[in-house]
Structures are given as structure tokens and as C-alpha cells.
Amino acid sequence: MRPPSPGYSITVRVEVPAATTATAALTAAVGSAGGALTALDVVESRTDRLVVDVTCDASDEAHADRIAEAMSEIPGAVVRKVSDRTFLMHLGGKIEVNPKVPLKHRDDLARAYTPGVARVCLALAEHPEDARRLTIKRNTVAVVTDGSAVLGLGNIGPIAALPVMEGKAALFKEFGGVDAWPVCLDTQDTDELVEIVRAIAPVYGGINLEDISAPRCFEIEARLRELLDIPVFHDDQHGTAIVVLAALTNALRVVDKRIEDVRIVVSGVGAAGHAIIRLLLAQGAGEIIGCGRTGAVHAGQEGMDEFRTWIAENTNSARLDGSLKEVLAGADVFIGVSAPNLLTGEDIATMAKDAVVFALANPVPEVDPVAASKYAAVVATGRSDYPNQINNVLVFPGFFRGLLDAGISDITDEMLIAAAKAIADRVENGQLNPSYVVPSLFDPGVAPAVAAAVRGVATTGARMLPATPV
């Protein structure tokens, strides 16, 4: 059973006899069922009965049911209600729109809306380049998805994708001060999706593509970058690649190896895997072997699309063939962006001494982190309940903050590498150890550092948007 997680937190309202052992019995019941108690609050008291809210973490929905059942079996206990705290957080959605200007009387209304707003409209009709100065455009990003590849859930569609996009928008605001809004499109036709985004682009200062399946996502991003004069960033590709490079930079410092000298195996050659391989090569990585469902990718294989062909032509120079487990033997680094439970601890044992393992499939990684840690020197996952959480939240708020502030429309490899270095540098030498190779998601210095790195990159050849007066 997986460890309890806040993602499966419940609050059980239970009525028990008013005995001195009442709360102790509840605590014991949660513990006996394997739950992690986080709060216990008496909400009602009578001479003979207590009503208590018991809050705890479970490992999944079935486990939550077992915890509630354990409390119901206490003599004299009655479970009144079980509340799923994750669903409670999502009631009514997680974001809202708030005005930035006062609207208290007719004078305010006359300037914010009619008749005064007409003057601003006419000014923009004559000088559309002033939209970044006079509208929300300068600080607004569209979070665009078609719901075709949501988290590890697959093609669940735009409605089911909305809670993820809301969360993304909330993170943009919380960590980067960027106003983002979900745009969940009910089409998976590439041409139609590109045209819709092109048509709505005037409102936004940037486009963040999210959870769009490969290989369509590559074409969609490339076409939009060609069509639009605002930055287009597929976070599943580039955000993942940036944070992986940052974590690998520090992990290699821990094991005293150089990126030029290590052999890296990447499991998953879709959007994230392709971008990771591309960025690692740009940073000077020596030998990389990409693995798909059927094993190692190499030149000469048939039936590959242009993106997998690029991987085949630029990696695995020795043309190693075989399964993921076979090519992993002797490797220094494993990076998984694929599927759960592909490997065991014994597979990690076949890797080189002081191996680095990034098992990033979510919510269940490619290999159990506890099993991997018996053999690897550094282990990281995408989960919040293990050390070294590799998460794109470290990237996209600051990256877009830098793009919007600088008015940059083109995104270059130099920017991606600079962002990775900024994240890696947030872990100082005195902090670096096998359990801390990336900064905390709540480190307030990460987003400003990433934004500064993006702004500071030389933009030779990049398109610059019109300067925006402060």
C-alpha cells in the first residue's frame, strides 16, 4: 500500500460517548487502519456525547473507506459524515476574477466603462501595439488544452481536464504573479485547435500549452510559434526538461560525475522525453538512450515518426538494442517519464555505482522510490511525499514572468538552460545532499531567479515585443 497522502485527505464527523478515552479511541482507530492523523477537533459537546471531526490522510479512496469503517466500529460510535477534502477544495472552482480598479460610483464607471472606455478603444484601433500597456494582455496567459493527455489519466477530454488547468492558473498567480486562465477546447483536430488559439491570441501575452498528446503537441507548438507574436510554451515538454536538467545538475554534483561522462537512459519518448533528451544534449550530455514501449530507440528502426527519428539519429550511438531493463544495466542515470512499475529495485542494482534515478511517472513512479534508494545514490520522483520532488511548478511561473516582463516572443534553448541553472543554483553548497537536489516548491526565491535568468539571456535573433512603459 502506498503511503498516506494529502491528496486523499478526509474529515470524518463522528459521534462518540463522552468518555475520557473517546479521542484516544479515535486516534487508535485511525492508526490501526493505517491512516495518518492530521487533526482532531471537538465540534459539539454534551454531557453524554461528543461530536468530533477527525481529519487524516489515506493512500486511496478504498483506504479512506476502511479508516471511516474503523472509527464506526468503536463501541457507541456513529459516523455522521465523511468529507473528501480534495473535492471540498474544488467546490465552485479554484480561481476567480477580481477587478483591479475601484467601481464605487458613476465617476469610476464613466472611466472604466462607457463612455470613457471608448476613447481607449479608439486609441488601440490606431495603435494596437499599445495593448500591452492599456489592457490585461501584458500579464495574461492562456492555459490551453484539448484534454488528450491529462496527467497520467490519458485522453479524458476538456471538461475533465478543467480542474488541472484551474490549478495551473492558480499556481501561475501564486508563484509568478501571472494572471492565467484555462482554455479547454472541445476539439482534438490539430488544424482546428491551432486556428482557435490563433483567433483568441489577441487577449493574451503568452500561450501555455498543456496536456496535449504527442506527436500532435510538437506540430501544434511549432505552428503557433510561427503564427503568433507572443511566446508559446508547451510546459509538458519544456517545463519538464528544465526542472529535470536542474535536478540532474545537482544530483551529478552529489555523486561527483560530469554530464559529459555519464550514460543516461530515458524511459518515455513522448513530449516530455523528447524535450528532456533535446535539452540534455544541448547541455553537453554524452551518451543518451531513449526507450519506448518496445525498448531502446536507435537508428535503422522502421515505423518511426519524425520526432522519434530525431531521437534515433541523435542518441544511442552504439545502437544498443533490447528492453528498458537490458539497456539500463551499467547506466549512470535513469530518467522516467513513462508509466508505473516498469522497474524493480533489482533492476536499479544493475546500474553503475552511485546511480541517479528520477522516476517521474505520476502518481505511481516507474520504480518504487524506497526500493530504488537501496541501490541508487540519488532518487527523485514527481510526488510530494518523497524527497526531491521534481515538479514543473519550479519552472513555469517564473519563466512566463520573465517572458512577459521582457516582452520576449521567441523562446530559445539558452533561456531553457539559464532557467535550469537558476533553479539548480537555489540549492547552495551547504544545503546539497542526496535528499535535497532541487529547491522546495515553496522557496519564494525560485520564480524571481528564473524570471531574472530568462530576462538576462541574450536575445540575438529573438523577436521583441514593443516596450511597455511602467
* pLDDT tens-digit readout, 107-117: 999 999 999 99
CA dihedral 353, 354, 360, 364 (to 10 degrees): 70
Question: What local confidence, expressed as pLDDT, does residue 2 receive?
Answer: 77
Grid cell, residue 439, equals: 529547491
Question: What local confidence, expressed as pLDDT, does residue 467 receive?
Answer: 39
Q: Count the Cβ atoms, other than its own, within 10 Å of residue 227.
A: 13
- Examine the residue annotation and report whether 375 is marked as an active-site residue of this protein: no
Residue 20 pLDDT level (bands cut at 50, 70, 90): confident
Question: What local confidence, expressed as pLDDT, does residue 466 receive?
Answer: 44
Query: For 87-106, what is the mean pLDDT?
Result: 94
Grid cell, residue 235, equals: 510546459
pLDDT tens for residues 142-157?
Answer: 999 999 999 878 899 9
Mean pLDDT (the chain) is 93
Q: Which of these, 311, 260, 310, lies nearest to 287 by C-alpha position?
A: 260
Residue 469 pLDDT level (bands cut at 50, 70, 90): very low
Active-site annotation holder among 94, 100, 104, 113: 113
Active-site annotation holder among 168, 204, 257, 375: 168
Question: What local confidence, expressed as pLDDT, does residue 385 receive?
Answer: 79
Question: What local confidence, expressed as pLDDT, does residue 116 receive?
Answer: 94
pTM, to two decimals: 0.90
Backbone angles phi, psi at 118, to 5 degrees: -60, -35
Question: What local confidence, expressed as pLDDT, does residue 461 receive?
Answer: 47
Residue 162 pLDDT level (bands cut at 50, 70, 90): very high
pLDDT tens for residues 295-326?
Answer: 999 888 877 888 889 999 999 988 889 999 99
Question: What local confidence, expressed as pLDDT, does residue 465 receive?
Answer: 42
pLDDT of 228 higher than 90: yes
Give percent of the chain above pLDDT 90.
Answer: 86
pLDDT of 184 higher than 90: yes
For residue 58, the cross-strand partners are: 5
Query: For 62-68, what is the mean pLDDT?
Result: 97
Residue 275 pLDDT level (bands cut at 50, 70, 90): very high
Question: What local confidence, expressed as pLDDT, does residue 144 receive?
Answer: 98
pLDDT tens for residues 390-413?
Answer: 999 999 999 999 999 999 889 999
Cα–Cα distance between 24 and 26 in angstroms, integer?
Answer: 5
- Examine the residue annotation and report whether 168 is marked as an active-site residue of this protein: yes
Grid cell, residue 145, equals: 488544452
Exposed, middle or buried by CB within 10 Å (0-12, 13-18, 19+), for 182? buried
| Widest distance between CA atoms in the chain | 80
HEC profile of the chain: CCCCEEEEEEEEEEEEECCCCHHHHHHHHHHHCCCEEEEEEEEEECCCEEEEEEEEEECCHHHHHHHHHHHHCCCCCEEEEEEEHHHHHHCCCCCCCCCCCCCCCHHHHHHHCCCCHHHHHHHHHHCHHHHHHHCHHHHEEEEEECCCCECCCECCHHHHHHHHHHHHHHHHHHHHCCEEEEEECCCCCHHHHHHHHHHHHHHCCEEEECCCCCCHHHHHHHHHHHHCCCCEEEHHHHHHHHHHHHHHHHHHHHHCCCCCCCEEEEECCCHHHHHHHHHHHHCCCCEEEEEECCEECCCCCCCCCHHHHHHHHHCCCCCCCCCHHHHHCCCCEEEECCCCCCCCHHHHHCCCCCCEEEECCCCCCCCCHHHHHCCCCEEEECCCCCCCECCHHHCHHHHHHHHHHHCECCCCHHHHHHHHHHHHHCCCCCCCECCECCCCCCCCCHHHHHHHHHHHCCCCCCCECCCCCC
Question: What local confidence, expressed as pLDDT, does residue 459 receive?
Answer: 61
pLDDT of 257 higher than 50: yes
